[in-house]
Chains A and B, each alone.
Chain A
């Protein structure tokens, strides 16, 4: 069975600094997808970034980048130049090889300090 682990229940970062949110995963599939979502207090899950298991380059989307280390089964999210609006819950998720089942981690609550 697939599993996502996020070991940081809460993180604090100073505005304009970079922060890394950890994610490790467990799967026996060779092909899978890794996703990061942001959930503000309003509740909506906002897609941030995607990394495929066969992608050789780390994914980047604006201020978000994914530090993918396949051998270590980790997919950490790096947010550069943090903004106050980045304060939210962040979820790492994995989609299985057959494409239908998403497994989410427990999330990390990020608080950006002014």
Chain B
């Protein structure tokens, strides 16, 4: 496989469930990102990992728990979610960001999450 892949593509879960989203990149990048895209809202950056270290957490509720075991894999663990967490969750990767650099983020197809 090439590029950035995400599984599952669709997920329906209850508020008491625990599930995980998986992202894998085959581009040799060292930085990975989770974004949330809700209807009628701009894309929101959730977490950033650079060389497996979390470098950004944009005030995301603790019911979202990221994990980055290596530079190619990124997980988002979900537990006790709320209906307003229903959204498209996008994973992206890039070369490690540098000051003033031109590193482009490449996105996966996303996971459409519905919380009932």
Contacts and interface: CB of A to CB of B under 8 A. Distances in A.
Interface of A: 4, 31-33, 35, 37, 42-47, 50, 52, 54, 91, 93, 95, 97-107
A105 B42 CA distance: 6
A110 B97 CA distance: 31
A102 B45 contact: yes
B109 A99 contact: no
7 contacts: A98-B97, A98-B99, A101-B48, A101-B56, A102-B33, A103-B45, A107-B42
Q: Which 3 A-B pairs have the closest CB atoms?
A: A99-B97, A45-B107, A31-B100
A43 B104 contact: no
Nearest to B97: A99
B104 A47 contact: yes
Interface of B: 31, 33, 41-43, 45, 48, 50, 55-56, 88, 90, 92, 97-110, 112
Contact of B103 (A99, A101, A106, A107): A99
Contacts of B43: 45, 91, 93, 102, 104
Contact of A52 (B55, B90, B102): B102
A5 B71 CA distance: 33
A101 B42 contact: no
A33 B100 CA distance: 7
A111 to B, nearest CB: 18
